[in-house]
Structure 1
Amino acid sequence: MPRMQNAYPFAASLMETVRTYRQTIDKVKQYEKEIAILVTSYRLKCKPKSLPVSLINGTT
């Protein structure tokens, strides 16, 4: 692969970026429930006092 990095630095960089992106997506999927709990708790702590909870949570 050293030849490719020398001849096509943009392609090598793009391939590395895609690999990192895929690894990140896999980790997010692995911890999906925990992330949902974290986001929900953050939203509840940061909700504006003037809006109904149903609007903040996206429910009617």
Structure 2
Amino acid sequence: MTNENGMVELFIEHPENVQLYHVQNMKEHLADNMEHPSTGKSALHTSWVLEQIVKE
């Protein structure tokens, strides 16, 4: 990102196995053992939050 103070870089380390619990929950959802906690509505909200974080 560039602003009046110059170039600013933001680097966020990726945690190890970041998708592990999401994949496990999808498996359980598909096996009818549970309702997956992530929905389209929650994904939309997460997307909005991330956009606010990186917004200029």
Instruction: Tell me the TM-score normalised to structure 1 length.
Output: 0.28
Structure with the greater relative contact order (CA < 8 A, sep ≥ 6): 1 or 2? 2
Q: TM-score under structure 2 normalisation? A: 0.28
Higher strand proportion (structure 1 or 2): 2
Higher helix content, 1 or 2: 1
